[in-house]
Amino acid sequence: MGGAEHLAALLRESERAVVFTGAGISTESGIPDFRSPGGIWTQMAPIYFDDFVRSADMRREAWRRRFAMEEMFATVTPNAGHRAVAELMARGRLSHVITQNIDNLHQQSGVPADRVIELHGNTRCARCLDCGVRVELAPIRAHFEAHGDPPDCAGCGGLLKTATISFGQAMPEAEMVRAEAAALACDLFLVLGSSLVVYPAAGFPLLAKRNGARLVIVNREPTEQDPAADLVLHTGIGAALEAAVNAL
Ligand SMILES: [Zn+2]
């Protein structure tokens, strides 16, 4: 049995699967893996959350970097892997998509937003660090380009930051609780394109496995959790998942 057929068989036997995605699914859309060797964070030091809060210079630098990536984020589109995940959701085979990605591509591919659990937030909008209000990026960019500084929150004067979880920033509590509940409730946990090294997110596959779920890992490189998995595919995601969905 080939990998895609094996994956299709596991999906057929599952009634409530969870998909867990990392950078590897989005690199197939042309989004760089920021944490990979040669990725942005090995060439340019990341800005830690405390430094963002403490320093106006760091906030300017963070926003300069974000706007420099805007053309890339504005033009990327979901790929075959995202579409296959959306198809599984539409067919009622998935309860949730847990993602480490911040690019909004699962929602763009048609997965309902309330089924996407974003562990590292979303870079397509901003939030006030004090009152939590959501703010679109376009007016922040216009202010930044006109004044050289990002605006403060119009409502409370707090600091605006992309709605992502930065290095050194606490994990989002509600999302962690939802992800844990989804991992414990699923009967199949499908890892797509994560090297499973960033904790606590990387703890969810083994949590699901220990609770009786089957574990599938599709990732180009081996991961430390491969020995625990029922099926491991060291391939790209789009083609493998598309073939599996077609074989359902
Ligand atoms: Zn505010």
Rounded CA separation 31/76 (Å) = 7
pTM given for the model: 0.93
Report how far ligand 1's centroid is from the alpha carbon of 54 (Å). Answer: 17
Report how far ligand 1's centroid is from the alpha carbon of 129 (Å). Answer: 7
Q: Do residues 208 and 215 lie in contact, with contact meaning Cβ atoms separated by under 8 Å?
A: yes
Q: What is the pLDDT of residue 125?
A: 95
**Amino acid symbol at 191:** V
Exposure class string for 137-146: b at 16+ Cβ within 10 A, else e: beebeebbee
**Amino acid symbol at 37:** P
Q: Do residues 240 and 10 lie in contact, with contact meaning Cβ atoms separated by under 8 Å?
A: no
Q: What is the pLDDT of residue 44?
A: 75
What is the tens place of the pLDDT at every residue in 170-184? Answer: 999 999 999 999 999
Q: Which residues of the chain have pLDDT under 70?
A: 1, 34-43
Written as six digits, the tokens of 134 are 């959501």
Q: What is the pLDDT of residue 1?
A: 64
Element at 84 (helix H, strand E): helix 80-90
DSSP state of 46: P
Written as six digits, the tokens of 219 are 């990732």
Whether 120 sits among the annotated catalytic residues: the reply is yes
Q: What is the pLDDT of residue 36?
A: 59
Rounded CA separation 83/29 (Å) = 12
Q: Do residues 153 and 135 lie in contact, with contact meaning Cβ atoms separated by under 8 Å?
A: yes
Catalytic residue among 82, 96, 106, 120: 120
